Amino acid sequence: MRSDPPKSDDLPRLPLFEQAGSRRSFIKSLSIAAAAGSAALTTGCIPSVEAAGSEEFKLRWQEFFKKNYRLMTQEEKDATVRRLERLAKLRDGLDIQMTSHPPLEGVLYGYAFNITRCEGFMECVTACVKENNLDRKTNTQYIRIFEMEPGQLDPSTGDGQYYHEVPVENKFYMGTQCFHCEKAPCTKACPTQATWKEPDGIVVVDYDWCIGCRYCQAACPYYGRRFNWGKPEVPREEVTHRQHYLGNRIRPKGKMEKCTFCIQRTRRGRLPACVEACPTGARVFGNLLDPDSEIRYVLKHKKVFRMKEELGTQPKFWYFID
Amino acid sequence: MRPLHEKNLRTFIIDVAKWNLRGGLGFQLFRLLLLALIGLGLYAYAHQARYGLAVTGMNDIVSWGFYISNFTFFVGVAAAAVMLILPAYIFHDPDFHRVVIIGEGVAVGALVMCLTFILVDLGGPLQAWHLIPVIGIFNFPSSILAWDVVVLNGYLLLNALVPAYILYCHYRGKAADERKYRPFVFISIFWAFSIHMVTAFLYQGLPARPFWNNPLMGPRFLASAFAAGPALITLVLAVIHSSTPYKIERTVFNKLRLIIVVSAIINLLMLFSEVFKEFYFPTHHSSSAVYLFFGMDGHDSLVPWIWTSVGVNLISTLVLAFNPGKNNPKVLLPACFFLFIAIWMEKGIGLIVPGFLPSPLGEVVDYLPTWVELSVTVGIFALGVTIITWLIRAALIIEQDYAGY
């Protein structure tokens, strides 16, 4: 839901950092002290004197005043993506390739989880953490796997902390993650429209627009959202370089994040990392609008159910039994 | 006092500052103590700004903690000013007319505290401008948090500007024109109810949290606020009565006691109704209440907290209702104090934290605020007290002076 049409005419186009002529003069007109002060607050630490006039500082300044992703023109999206790439290089020496790929036409993503097949190996969790550059310090995980007793179908009755050899006789396993609800309570709650459902059904967060109030997290009935309580830490050699603006780029501190169905992969026609990693084939992902897709086959021929159906959130994530 | 013809808006501000900077040794020490506590809060907040909310006790399961608990409670304190405004301005109650300005001062202080609690709870405080309409995106009317921003700031304006206008008129030795401020008083009465209902809806509107998703939430918020708020105002009036030449009539205290008793009894009745619903036939949706009152999976940090709160609440309500000391302030003032504390315990931590427990996936953790949260909170309390004392001191000097004309 857009509140305003993009005001690209009366606002200056965000130029690329190489040709930041008007911006540069704008910045120069501000006092250095005020600028350095805001930079100090932005990162929470005091920059060195020479950093105040540096390229990094200018990029961060421009990043600070950018718009909500949904109000950006394609040029503005390209510009911010290039700034973020450059900042990753300047700050961490990382050569990342970021995109802002739009949703594919005629696609609505859906997911199905085969509780007969899953044996609780958690390869999906490892792959997800790696692919999505999740914080290693606090061990952030989008996917949770619960070891379930027979006779139960609600993950809250299962054990989400198991640490032993799997599969265990007479137990079964259920995975949870963000269910990308059609009627998502989280997007309704957000006071700044920093999170929304994309046309291809993926619920995303604009990490730079999020103010970190965590109302969406309180509103989510599935524990689908994770907050960056501190600055996320990913070892340099483990960073996934192919990133998406709305996907697996390394999040700033104090912002909400969540599963994006690996938007950086799926919008290029690839499978999410968890689906690809699953050794038992318990995970099915595909286009709900394509009658020949595997997900449609599952929905048509298997007995499926969704979690907390009574809440009316309409998750696009089904469990099924072979 | 300056001669009347020299008084203008500039001297008004200068005089208010001057009156507040003067004072005896005790008063100056009090001010210094508040300043030191604010400094402590700032120090702790700087630490939090640098390392993120990771330095608090919050986590992905209990994602709101001490800050939001205090925010929720002080919204109630702010709303309670209406219990003085309504009789004073609408029914022209002469007793309340003399003290209404004090109630409004308390409301302003409470609101500043509320807004500060929200600000310190944000993960990205520098992005707070994204909330401002036009330069940001305001998700109105979909997000209840957006509604809350509107009602809290609106109430702050109403509660600051109406008394400021009246005081400024009195400062200049003129009667305030009732036709000018009466419409705003009317608005502020409805607005007081709205700030509390909207804040309750913030929680009540979340089907994800059965403990909060309860239609009694809003009305119970009001009842508890109309007990805790006037209890605090009673204590403030008692301090003013004993430490300044501005004397408060006995009848004011008696009327406030009635308001507190009625509200506290309604509050307890609703608490009983909630407890009955949760425990007569416990369902999955009762697990938060089970965690709160009895503990769960070996986690029981809130159990002594909530039983203390309920016990103290019950005893102070009975004391206020039966009035054993025959209006003896040595009985009633401690009862007000303990009632205030009991409701703070219950409407703060006792309401917010169990809403998150167990998590939607059935996990239970214990939440304990860290030194950062405690220090920041103490700093915000000190800020609130500073604002309240500044406003009330100025108001009392002006009112006494005006009474002499």
pLDDT, tens digit (0-9, with 9 covering 90-100), for A66-76: 999 999 999 99
For chain B, give every domain's residue range: 4-403
Which residue out of B134, B139, B153 would a mutagenesis test of the A interface target, given it has the greatest number of A Cβ atoms within 10 Å?
A: B139
Return the pLDDT at B7.
85
Both structure tokens of B340? 């205030």
Encoding tokens for residue B360?
């939607």
Indicate the pairing of strand A144-148 with strand A172-176.
antiparallel
Output the pLDDT for position B32: 95
Same domain for A133 and A262? yes
Domain's final residue, options A65, A95, A125: A95
pLDDT of residue B2: 80
B4-403: CATH number: 1.20.1630.10
CB contact under 8 A, B124 and A255: yes
Q: Tell whether the model's pLDDT for residue A28 goes beyond 70.
A: no
Cβ B50–A227 below 8 Å, yes or no?
Answer: no
Q: Is residue A246 part of a domain?
A: yes
Please say if the pLDDT value at position A4 is more than 80: no
Beta strand A203-205 with A225-227 is unpaired
Residue A25 confidence (pLDDT): 42
**Are B137 and A157 within 8 A, CB to CB?**
no
In this structure, the number of other CB atoms found within 10 A of the CB of residue A8 comes to 14
Put simply, the chain A residues between 254 and 283 with a CB less than 8 A from any chain B CB are 254-256
A157, A294: one domain: yes
Task: Indicate if A205 and A65 belong to the same structural domain.
Answer: no
Q: What is the ipTM of this complex?
A: 0.93
Selection from A213, A127, A142, A131 nearest residue A175 by Cα:
A142
A-proximal residues of B, 143-162, CB under 8 Å: 143-146, 149
What residues make up the domain containing A320? 108-322
Indicate whether A43 and A176 sit together in one domain: no
Return the exposure string of A291-306: e unless at least 16 CB atoms fall within 10 Å of the residue's CB, then b.
eebebbebbeebeeee
Count of helices and strands (H, E) across chain A: 10, 12
A275 and A181: one domain? yes
Q: Is there a single domain that holds both residue A113 and residue A197?
A: yes
Distance from C-alpha of B210 to C-alpha of A123, rounded to nearest angstrom: 33
> In this structure, is residue A102 part of a structural domain?
no
CA nearest B228: which of B106, B325, B344, B356?
Answer: B344
Residue B325 predicted with pLDDT over 90:
no
Strand bridging mode A109-114 / A97-99? unpaired
Q: What is the mean pLDDT of residues B80-106?
A: 88
**Span of A32-46, A151-165, A281-295, B357-371 with lowest mean pLDDT:** A32-46
Specify the pLDDT at position A2: 41
Residues 6+ apart with CB under 8 A from A73: A6, A8, A13
The DSSP string of A33-67 is: HHHHHHHHHHHTSPPPGGGGGSHHHHHHHHHHT--
Which comes out higher in pLDDT, residue B249 or A216? A216
Residue B318 CB neighbours (<10 A) = 16
Kindly report, residue by residue over A18-27, the tens digit of the pLDDT: 334 444 444 4
Residues A261 and A287 in one domain: yes
> How is residue A148 written in tokens?
């379930």
Give the model's confidence band at A52: pLDDT under 50 very low, under 70 low, under 90 confident, else very high.
low
Q: Are B199 and B148 in contact (CB under 8 A)?
A: yes
**Does A190 contact B at CB distance below 8 Å?**
yes
Smallest CA–CA distance from B65 into chain A, residue: A214
Percent of chain A with pLDDT over 90: 81
Q: Assess whether A270 and A168 both reside in one domain.
A: yes
Q: What percent of chain B has pLDDT over 90?
A: 78
CA B169 vs. chain centroid, Å, equals 28
**pLDDT beyond 70 at A16:** no
Cis geometry, peptide bond prior to residue B207 (ω within 30 degrees of 0)? no
Q: How many independent structural domains does chain A possess?
A: 2
| pLDDT at position A49 | 54
A213, A270: one domain:
yes
Assess whether A222 and A251 both reside in one domain.
yes
3-state SS assignment for residue A115? coil
Q: Are B375 and B44 in contact (CB under 8 A)?
A: yes
Q: Are both A118 and A245 inside the same structural domain?
A: yes
Record the pTM: 0.90
Do the beta carbons of residue B395 and residue B51 sit within 8 Å?
no
Residue A220 belongs to a domain with what CATH number? 3.30.70.20
Q: What is the pLDDT of residue A90?
A: 92
Structure tokens, B23: 């004072």
pLDDT band for B338, please (50, 70, 90 cuts).
very high
Q: What is the mean pLDDT of residues B316-344?
A: 94
Distance between the two ends of chain A, CA-based, in angstroms? 39
User: What's the rounded mean pLDDT across residues B74-84?
Assistant: 90
Distance CA B328, CA B337 (A): 14
- Helix-strand-coil percent breakdown of chain B, rounded to 5? 75, 0, 25
Token pair of B215 as six digits: 């239609």
Instruction: Please provide the size of chain A in residues.
Output: 322
A95, A118, A142: which is the final residue of a domain? Answer: A95
| pLDDT (0 to 100) of residue A26 | 41
Residues A130 and A77 in one domain: no
Q: Name the band, by pLDDT with cuts 50, 70 and 90, for residue A177.
A: very high
pLDDT at A17 over 50: no
Q: Report, as an integer, the average pLDDT of A178-202.
A: 96
Is residue A6 a part of any domain in this protein?
Answer: no
Question: Comparing A11-15, B296-300, B318-322, which segment has the lowest mean pLDDT?
Answer: A11-15
